[in-house]
Chain A
């Protein structure tokens, strides 16, 4: 294990290489492009023993890795924003076939209006597709979760694809110190690929053909059970990863708690700004407010039991969302409300389209919440109360 100052994108590319991926489909979209460029360069230099397919769209990127994975090799691709939405059809096809695949999503706002900056709406819009969905908060975690993702996805109790989210620019382009495991360490953790269905003329199987309604529904139920099973698998694999690969960071639980035990209030967040939220917790603790943080690392599976255990007794919970379901509020807020219907939960949708949310902003939002000056769900910043559309006119 060595440590280096690298960006989130570089960390992910290294994680993919160390996982001995065999086929990679690449198509550029900001802010993940550097990952695939780096992988293509590694392939050119002979450092990576993989085939790289330069596809003509994200739809094809997911189709290409799906085809390759069905033929029995470990695969990888990355995308963001419009690209993820363009892949949407194939994302479902992969999950429904129970084919293990790993993908990175460098999260980014979705147009219109055109916007290249960070938010989580692209990522959250795939939460019903049957993929395992983890979200990193540091470049280190992006690397660690990528390597773990192969093992989780290829576990026989799971056999679902997995995507790892990473805040666009904030993590993808920011350089921090990252511990990079050696090939031997990763090899000791990650066994050769295994999968339930492989296309092979010696043992012909059909993948994805027409099923009767009841058989289709049974298959959907099997995906539901696999998603539930994956909770234990993720913890088990996380612990093994800590032991065999990188002994920094903690992966023994799906989500992370910070100063929650004696807390009366809790913040809930996901992604890079969770680290700012931790500082806010420290700051408020110094002022005598008993508050803690619960950081969501896995959107799917959703760790309902842990959330009930850690947050069920709180006087108030504030959920920070970087995504929105229009007319309903932030996705995490909605999930929390459904998990803890009797707890006082407020939610704030903020940081959309790259609006900068720093420690001070989170601090002022939290204070406002504790002082009880908030409704159930609100947007921040809200200096512009309303966007006035042009006067409508009838068109001849």
Chain B
């Protein structure tokens, strides 16, 4: 698929001077996604880092219309907006931009409702695996063993498998992406943007402060997450699951990079016991077994 990046680079949708922290993965994702979306889009930003990256009103670093909204309300507001644009005969895509807290926890009912109704919206979950805007509190999307402000000894529960849950809603399109692979991300956004109905993309956005790594390493951590198969890159379209090129090697355990390479570059797993690493590895194995069985058609969603 051709992205036509030269054209879209001329019209920046994220203006210089955002209030993002150095190395912010959301800034990277926002820039790429908004370029891939093109002009006819409206963002619905739920409470989170992105409400801050925008800067202080009445000015804004987002060069497109934005509705900032309460934590749990994004998908419902987007649903209303989609209907309003339909009534006005406008081809404008409402795009919800929410973190993992807003998606996995407080906004989950609203997300599920909009998916069930197959409202014509694109939902993007920027998954930095904790409530990073409020001091790094654990969320339903924080992985097993990770240290956060509210799980100083490491989280005792597994990460909620949101992409799989969304697939079970039988929506037209589900995908995962990482800020380590921006072309892949932009291609998926471009595809989703043109699909009628509810589309869902979950982007891994490693956070230098919450994950405790050097801000210059954001993209590298995003890559390692994929290479070690901690974070799968997949697409689910019309009931069929495909594995993106960057993740194909994960189908075979032997070709995966050791998980330690992903863990040692960040501070969340510093000093944790071998049992926790083992628990995390088991989760990854099981996750890939699930993906494989759907990919091979043994399990039909």
Contact = CB atoms under 8 A, between A and B. Distances in A.
Most chain B beta-carbon contacts within 10 A, residue among A59, A64, A69, A93: A64
Contacts of B60: 206, 209
A189 B254 CA distance: 74
A246 interface: no
Given A56-B110, A60-B110, A93-B69, A212 B56 contact: yes
A71 B66 contact: no
Nearest to B94: A67
B190 to A, nearest CB: 17
B73 A59 contact: yes
B158 interface: no
Given A60-B76, A201-B41, A208 B68 contact: yes
B70 interface: yes
Interface stretch (B77-85, B218-226, B236-244): B77-85
B69 A23 contact: no
Contact of A199 (B51, B65, B116): B65
A201 B90 CA distance: 11
B42 interface: yes
A198 B209 CA distance: 36
A69 B74 CA distance: 14
A68 B84 contact: yes
A72 interface: yes
A55 B73 CA distance: 11
A51 B77 CA distance: 14
Nearest to B77: A67
B64 A64 contact: no
Nearest to A211: B57
Q: A55, A60, A204: which has the most chain B beta carbons within 10 Å?
A: A60
A208 B73 contact: no
B81 A201 contact: no
Nearest to A59: B72
A152 interface: no
A220 to B, nearest CB: 14
Given A23-B80, A56-B109, A206-B68, A211 B56 contact: yes
B30 to A, nearest CB: 14
A207 B110 contact: no
Given A23-B87, A73-B87, A210 B76 contact: no
Contacts of B55: 209-210
B58 A215 contact: yes
Classify the interface of chain B: helix, strand, loop or mixed.
mixed
Nearest to A65: B80
Interface in A164-221: 199-201, 204-212, 215
Could you say which interface size class chain B belongs to? 35 or more
Interface in B30-55: 39-42, 44, 51-52, 54-55
Contact of B112 (A56, A61, A215): A56
Contacts of A210: 51-52, 54-57, 68
B40 A201 contact: yes
A53 B121 CA distance: 14
For A68, A69, A72, which residue has the most chain B Cβ atoms within 10 angstroms? A68
Contacts of B65: 199-201, 204-206
B84 A67 contact: yes
Q: Which of A65, A206, A207 has the most CB of B within 10 A?
A: A206
A16 to B, nearest CB: 15
A18 B215 CA distance: 58
Contacts of A75: 80, 84
A285 B72 CA distance: 55
A67 B87 CA distance: 13
A204 B63 contact: yes
B77 A64 contact: yes
A25 interface: yes
A51 B80 CA distance: 9
Given A56-B76, A90-B73, 4 more contacts: A57-B109, A206-B57, A209-B60, A210-B55
17 contacts: A23-B80, A23-B87, A53-B80, A56-B116, A59-B72, A60-B109, A73-B84, A89-B72, A90-B73, A93-B70, A199-B65, A199-B66, A201-B39, A201-B41, A204-B63, A204-B65, A205-B65
